[in-house]
Amino acid sequence: MPSETRHPDRALILDFGGVVTRTLFETHDLTERALGLVPGTLTWTGPFHPENDGLWQAMQRGQISERAYWAERSREVGALIGQDWTEMSQLVRAARGADPAAVIRPEFHDAIAEAQAAGCKLAILSNELDLFYGADFRDRLPFLKDFDVIVDATYTQILKPDPRAYAQVLDELNLPPGSCVFVDDQARNITGAADAGLNTIHFDVARPQASYERALDLLLPQRTPS
């Protein structure tokens, strides 16, 4: 239930990726349908069953970057349909280009509506929004116009967890870190945000509703849980 008090001095800062959209792990069926693959072809499971995804485990250990993980998955999927893909953007645009709204988490819409109703500012801090999704993806997501700030390392070249990434979004919001709640599904980015003084929620892609509830409770301490 929305808070009755207005909080223009607070902000909800979201990663894009798995926080706003259902992950590519969750939408194998949509990807297979879009690419004409046999159902069940895609089996990598990332955070849902990390024990079955050695490449994901390597990324979590810091042995490869997130971009390297997705470059390899894109190469693998592209090869299945005779394409030479080297970047995640090629996979994402082919898999999600037809109906981007279908992969947006419904819990996300509810959360930003409540934050807006309470007068809070909204921001996105992404390492690769346009790099992975393409600039035209934004044009088909009308809710993005409701965000006060979008900081995308596609253009800044400053990747989380670099302290400068958090400093930039805070500067554009014109708010101190203690007035903001940052939500991300990658532990290293949460650690970086906490070091920068932000309130943080490590988003669990397997429990999106619970993660958003925790974020709103932190953002709006007086709210009545829905």
Sheet bearing 180-184, strands edge to edge:
149-152, 121-126, 11-14, 180-184, 199-202
Burial class from Cβ neighbours inside 10 Å (0-12, 13-18, 19+) for residue 224 reads: exposed
Distance CA 216, CA 219 (A): 5
User: Which domains occur in the chain, in start order?
Assistant: 11-21+104-219 (3.40.50.1000), 28-99 (no CATH)
Instruction: Note whether 136 and 147 are within 8 A (CB).
Output: no
Look at residue 93 in the predicted model and tell me its pLDDT: 86
pLDDT digits (tens, 9 = 90+) for 38-97: 999 999 999 999 999 999 999 999 999 888 999 999 999 999 999 999 888 899 889 987
98 phi and psi angles, rounded to 5 deg: -70, -40
Span between the terminal Cα atoms of the chain, in Å: 5
pLDDT digits (tens, 9 = 90+) for 4-52: 578 999 999 999 989 999 999 999 999 999 999 999 999 999 999 999 9
pLDDT digits (tens, 9 = 90+) for 142-155: 899 999 999 999 99
